[in-house]
Amino acid sequence: MSTPFQDQLEVFENSFPDREYEIEIECPEFTSMCPKTGQPDFGTLIFRYVPDQTCVELKSLKLYLQKFRNEGIFYENVTNRILDDFVAVCQPRRLTLESHWGARGGITSIIRVHYVSPT
């Protein structure tokens, strides 16, 4: 099932589908909103994935992530939702997504989620 922003993501054909290699993408300016306070949350997202038949197109990823700017969503939920959308569109062999969140009240959080293709 598609989520509201998922159709923003685009992919291109992997020229080396028989080769096992990892792509790391760092997005240091991710923002969303705290659903309790309405205040902005600032984070860095780090994608590490092994592509299969397709790779994510970076401009589409940037535009997809910008959609969360005014979205009231908890750290854990946004990290899992982004992983689910990425997997649905890109269909990688493996993916780890980390979200590193700026301090709020003296506390920082890192959320780490993993995906491994069943085949």
Active-site annotation holds for 85: no
Smallest CA-to-CA distance from 55 within 26, 28, 5, 95 is with 95
Residue 31, strand partner residues: 42
Judge whether 47 and 85 are in contact, CB under 8 Å.
Answer: no
DSSP 8-state secondary structure symbol assigned to residue 72? B
State how far the Cα of 30 lies from the Cα of 101, in Å rounded to an integer.
9
Q: Does residue 7 have an active-site annotation?
A: no
- Block residue for tokens 């309790």: 36
- Report the C-alpha gap between 33 and 46 in whole angstroms: 19
Single out the catalytic residue among 41, 55, 85, 90.
41
Catalytic member of 7, 18, 27, 34: 34
DSSP state of 107: E
Q: What residues are annotated to the active site? A: 34, 41
